[in-house]
Amino acid sequence: GAVGSNGTVSASGNDTSGTIAVNVGVGASSGTLVSVSFRSQFGSTPSVVVTPVGRYVPMYINRTSTGFSIVTTSALSPGGYAFDYHVMQ
């Protein structure tokens, strides 16, 4: 839904930092844009900091000991978006 028709998501990095690239297609809606699963579960819910790169994105983060998700509060326009993330226990 939030990525739209023909939208794509890719990530580079590891459990503690990286970059997520999202190409939003047509007909996107608000909701979960991307879910990231950690390779190794943390002992408790870590702090997760996500920063949109290059443009404003209305969003919030859900996090657990096994991963996190980026949720948009309104539909994004078609195009490329990037997010840097840092995870700290």
Rounded to whole angstroms, what are the CA distances from 19 to 22, 43, 52, 72? Answer: 10, 23, 10, 17
pLDDT digits (tens, 9 = 90+) for 10-65: 999 999 999 999 999 999 999 999 999 999 999 999 999 999 999 999 999 999 99
Asked if residue 65 lies in contact with residue 84, where contact means CB atoms within 8 angstroms, the answer is: no
* pTM of the predicted model as reported, rounded to 2 decimal places: 0.94
